[in-house]
Amino acid sequence: MNDFVLDASVTLAWCFEDENDRYADSVLGFLGDHIAVVPALWFSEIANAIAVAERRGRIRRAEISRVVGLISSIAISVDHSLTIQPWMTNVIALARRTNLSSYDATYLELAMRLGLPLATTDRALRLAATNLDVPTFSTRRSS
């Protein structure tokens, strides 16, 4: 079983029809055989995006329980193995170096620290990962 770091962008593509993404859908298909590792902020990012989407009319209240059910059904491991001072210093340095938000740098730092590929649909985050030789999660099945 190969783990990977799951970025909120992939998860949110499953939640909203207007963000339908083939890569994100294929990542979802792999979650039966893989465990998604997420930083603790992942939950807040997903909840905030859903709340904002409801306010803006992108998702109906009735759909939220379906989305929460989908998210609850995937195998997720939350990373709690960090020490605040070095972690924060590393995230700030990564954000500075890559011009990413600290939120996106958190996913990149997690992938780097755990030596795991990163699943993201965010172009800037994917480019930063590539530039730093952090592998991105591939949904191609090896034979």
Q: Which domains does the chain have, with CATH numbers?
A: 4-131 (3.40.50.1010)
**CA torsion angle 135 140 142 143 (round to 10):** -160
| pLDDT score of 143 | 36
83-92, pLDDT tens digit by residue?
A: 777 888 999 9
Total-model pTM:
0.89
Tell me the C-alpha distance between 119 and 74, whole Å: 14
Q: 3-state DSSP call for residue 5?
A: strand
- With left for phi above 0 and alpha for psi between -120 and 50, is residue 57 left, alpha or beta? left
Across the beta sheet with 4-6, the strand order is 76-79, 36-39, 4-6, 118-119
Sequence-distant (≥ 6) Cβ neighbours of residue 80 within 8 angstroms: 40
Tell me the C-alpha distance between 111 and 38, whole Å: 9
Q: Which long-range contacts (CB under 8 A, 24 or more apart) does 17-24 make?
A: 18/58, 21/121, 23/121, 23/139, 24/121
| pLDDT score of 41 | 92
Smallest CA-to-CA distance from 109 within 99, 95, 126 is with 95
87-122, pLDDT tens digit by residue?
A: 889 999 999 999 999 999 999 999 999 999 999 999
Tell me the C-alpha distance between 111 and 101, whole Å: 16
